[in-house]
Amino acid sequence: MAELALTLGPVFFHWSADRLADFYRRIADEAPIDRVHVGEVVCGKRMPFSDSVWPAVIERLERGGKQVVLSTLAAPATVRERLSVEDLCGTERLVEINDVSGLPSRNGKPFVTGPFLNVYNEASAKFLVQLGAQTICPPVELSFAAVGAMALKCPEAQFEIFAFGRLPLALSGRCYHARIHGLHKDACQFTCEKDPDGLPADTLDDQQFLAVNGVQTLSNQVQVFCPAPAALASKRIGRLRLSPQTCNMVEVARIYRQLFDGKEEPEGARFALSCLDLPGTLADGYAYGKPGWQVTAPA
Amino acid sequence: MELVCPAGTPATLRAAVQAGADAVYCGFRDETNARNFPGLNFSRDELIEGVRFAHGHGSKVMVAINTFARVDDVDIWKKAADMAVESGADAIIAADFAVLDHVARNHSQVRLHLSVQAAAATPEAIGFYAAHFGVRRVVLPRVLSLQEIAVLNRAIDVETEAFVFGGLCVMIEGRCYLSSFATGKSPNLNGVCSPPEMVSYEDEPDGTAARLSGFTIDRYGPGHPVGYPTLCKGKFKAGGKTTHLFEDPVSLNAGGMISGLKAAGVTALKIEGRQRGKGYVSEVVRAFRKALDAVEHGGDAVDIDRLLAGQSEGARQTAGAYEKKWR
């Protein structure tokens, strides 16, 4: 059986430079993770705050034996944002492409497609493989069965499933943090930094439902998908992606590693994860072809 | 500029053509198009007849095959494209790499338009689709301002088409999974958003609750008109406030921006609403035909808001992202 690997996805939230540096220091030193994505994905306006931390973070992670992937913006719009995508895609390190804008400047060099790039079928996956796609992490709304079917039909790529964290559900040109605070995106005052796991948006009947993070909308629930290693292997899915939240991500990674190593059963892993300080209740509906908010984990 | 109008049924297609549409767009009666509603859309024979009628009146027909093909079933989408071409369609509107690639390889004589569901908003993305698939026109995401569209048009070699009337997505189209999160069905997978079979209205002591999949999206007091619980137009509690967090229940009307869109280099104006009846489509198309003709002939601006006062279902209208303050 091929080795199963863990990916730490990019941080979606507006964390301070200090918080990012501390977070990745622990990940580098302690987390049993193979691959770590770094960089801003959601909002180009945040980039000046974090740009300075990345060189040291990357060095530390690589010294810790991690493969570093440079993530790129999911919805570049301004000239500065477009240039950042172009610059990152021109580098020799592996990059994560989250918008078609990045494909021309990647120019055949290997890349990862993130969950913001619409890869729904084997023909699209093969098209991207021709351009250099090595790992494909499809949109979160695709089921485990659908990703597995794609993986079996497109053995040229490695497939990755979004397994842990608030689900990235939508992007907009409009900033909802700014809107809630009566501001516009162009003068937003960076109010999103007050919500390091996103700002919960409940329904009128106080049902937990969504969370906003600037221009991004996420689930309030935390995706916790814990497949048995044999189930992953049977579908040729080689990676699970863990998406950073403020809870103890080193512990999250350890739990998934124990699941991979057969030291923990899926149900035990789910229970252990549920005991962490998560920002919402558990969900895994998407993995089973159900509405994303539902909890449907089988035994 | 070209006026591109919705046709959910053969009767609506004829109505749109007779009201002055330069082109109509429609889809097949299955999950290959983003308006996959019961009672809507075209069979193969209906499309052939619709193309004949439109061409007879000097109008074009574009076929939307703009959902994302399901794994293991890509042939359904490819066959839909083949059928559109065989029916004499003037253009295919697509978003999925698989569909675009198929049309580019097998039907290079047919115009390929990039659907709004592909969310291509930069010169790099649009250039990619043009280089790889020969895309001739891009339907622009509804999140760009007029100024941004003007800058974009100067940087690209393909035509652009901009929405001017009808429903308003506030999320970037094609990259929004809110509907499947709540209901299991989504625009990308199933061609539906906030599907009617998941909607319920319940009279309660504090008003009528509009729910989607059990989630209370809005509540209306006695005597207030009850709206459809589309997720992104709902009321939510966030940050200690109860608001229309994403967007008010508004619809798009950029009728006042036709000359601005023309100046920005836009080739075609698009009216949303394949789910609409022929009366609505006739009236909206006629109003936009009049307004567009006035702009094209340098005449006085037409008060399009007055012409269309009856067609917004009492909902307020907005020029959306075309005005920069929308963000």
B154 part of contact set with chain A, CB < 8 Å: no
Tell me if B239 and A149 make a contact (CB, 8 A cut-off). no
- Domain extents in chain B: 2-168+250-326, 178-243
How do residues A258-292 score in pLDDT, each as one tens digit? 999 999 999 999 999 999 999 999 999 999 999 99
Q: Which distant-in-sequence residues (6+ apart) come within 8 Å of B303 by Cβ?
A: none
Query: DSSP per residue over A122-155, as a string?
Result: HHHHHHHHHHTEEEE---TTS-HHHHHHHHHH-T
A165 part of contact set with chain B, CB < 8 Å: no
Among residues B127, B124, B51, B149, the alpha carbon closest in space to that of B92 is found at B51
Asked casually if ipTM beats, i.e. exceeds, 0.95, the reply is: yes
Task: Give me the architecture of the B2-168+250-326 domain, per CATH.
Answer: Alpha-Beta Barrel (3.20)
A299 part of contact set with chain B, CB < 8 Å: no
pLDDT at res. B312: 56
Residue given tokens 């198309």 in the structure block: B285
Mean pLDDT of B98-114: 98
pLDDT at res. A1: 46
Tell me if B69 and A120 make a contact (CB, 8 A cut-off). yes
Among residues B289, B307, B297, B291, the alpha carbon closest in space to that of B22 is found at B289
A199 part of contact set with chain B, CB < 8 Å: yes
Confidence of residue B210 (pLDDT cuts 50, 70, 90): very high
A192 part of contact set with chain B, CB < 8 Å: no
Mean pLDDT of B78-94: 98
Chain A contacts of B179, Cβ < 8 Å? none
Report which DSSP code applies to B69. P
**CB-CB: which of B74, B122, B236 is closest to A201?**
B236
Mean pLDDT of B223-236: 91
More confident residue, B300 or A193: A193
Tell me if A139 and B177 make a contact (CB, 8 A cut-off). yes
Q: Work out the percent of chain B whose per-residue pLDDT is above 90.
A: 80
pLDDT at res. B34: 81
**CB-CB: which of A127, A203, A285 is closest to B97?**
A127
pLDDT at res. B193: 92
A90 part of contact set with chain B, CB < 8 Å: no
Confidence of residue A299 (pLDDT cuts 50, 70, 90): very low
Chain A to chain B, count of Cβ pairs less than 8 Å apart? 207
Give start and end residues of each alpha helix (H) in A39-155. 47-50, 54-63, 79-89, 103-106, 122-131, 144-153
Tell me if B127 and A104 make a contact (CB, 8 A cut-off). yes
Chain A contacts of B182, Cβ < 8 Å? 209, 291-293
pLDDT at res. B225: 87
Chain B contacts of A167, Cβ < 8 Å? 177, 181
Q: Measured between alpha carbons, how far is B235 from A201 in angstroms, rounded to an integer?
A: 9
Which helix (H) or strand (E) segment is A4 a member of? none
Which helix (H) or strand (E) segment is B78 a member of? helix B74-86
Residues 73-92 of B with CB under 8 A from A: 73-74
CA B193 to chain centre: 12
Among residues A275, A264, A248, the alpha carbon closest in space to that of A27 is found at A248
A109 part of contact set with chain B, CB < 8 Å: no
- Domain extents in chain A: 5-169+219-288
How do residues A222-263 score in pLDDT, each as one tens digit? 999 999 999 999 999 999 999 999 999 999 999 999 999 999
Residues 261-290 of A with CB under 8 A from B: 285-286, 289-290
Confidence of residue A186 (pLDDT cuts 50, 70, 90): confident
**CB-CB: which of B69, B121, B239 is closest to A77?**
B121
Q: Look up residue B107 and give its two tokens.
A: 């039907």
Residues 242-271 of B with CB under 8 A from A: 242-243, 245-247
Contact B144, B176 (CB under 8 A): no
Mean pLDDT of B249-269: 93
Q: Tally helices (H) and strands (E) across chain B.
A: 11, 15
Chain A contacts of B245, Cβ < 8 Å? 176, 179-180, 201, 212
Mean pLDDT of B229-235: 93
Collapsing DSSP states into helix, strand and coil, what is residue A87?
helix
pLDDT at res. A86: 97
Whole-number average pLDDT of chain A: 96
Tell me if A293 and B182 make a contact (CB, 8 A cut-off). yes
Q: Name the CATH superfamily, with its identifier, for domain A5-169+219-288.
A: Aldolase class I (3.20.20.70)
Q: Is the pLDDT of residue B39 over 90?
A: no
Tell me if B237 and A202 make a contact (CB, 8 A cut-off). yes
Sign of CA dihedral A142, A148, A149, A151: positive
pTM over 0.90: yes
Q: Is the pLDDT of residue A164 over 70?
A: yes
* Residue B71: C-alpha distances to residues A151, A169, B77, B100, B118 (Å): 10, 21, 11, 16, 18
pLDDT at res. B147: 93
Query: DSSP per residue over B294-315, as a string?
Result: HHHTT-PPP-HHHHTGGGSTT-
**CB-CB: which of B186, B236, B241 is closest to A203?**
B236
**CB-CB: which of A85, A105, A199 is closest to B238?**
A199
Q: Which distant-in-sequence residues (6+ apart) come within 8 Å of B87 by Cβ?
A: B44, B47, B48, B51, B63
pLDDT at res. B301: 65
Among A129, A169, A171, A207, the residue to mutate for chain B (most B Cβ within 10 A) = A169
How do residues A61-99 score in pLDDT, each as one tens digit? 999 999 999 999 999 999 999 999 999 999 999 999 999
Among residues B174, B83, B84, the alpha carbon closest in space to that of A124 is found at B174
* Of A109-123, A279-293, B30-44, the least confident: B30-44
Confidence of residue A184 (pLDDT cuts 50, 70, 90): confident
B297 part of contact set with chain A, CB < 8 Å: no
Q: Look up residue A30 and give its two tokens.
A: 């302690």
Q: Look up residue A222 and give its two tokens.
A: 């935390």
Which helix (H) or strand (E) segment is A68 a member of? strand A67-71
Tell me if A204 and B242 make a contact (CB, 8 A cut-off). yes
Chain A contacts of B241, Cβ < 8 Å? 180
Q: Is the pLDDT of residue B137 over 90?
A: yes
**CB-CB: which of A124, A146, A199 is closest to B96?**
A124
Dihedral pair phi/psi, residue A272, rounded to 5°: -60, -40
Q: Measured between alpha carbons, how far is A166 from A172 in angstroms, rounded to an integer?
A: 17
Among residues A126, A110, A25, the alpha carbon closest in space to that of A70 is found at A110
* Residue A289: C-alpha distances to residues A293, B184, B186 (Å): 11, 7, 12
pLDDT at res. B54: 98
Q: For chain B, how big is the Rg over CA atoms in Å?
A: 19
CA B218 to chain centre: 24
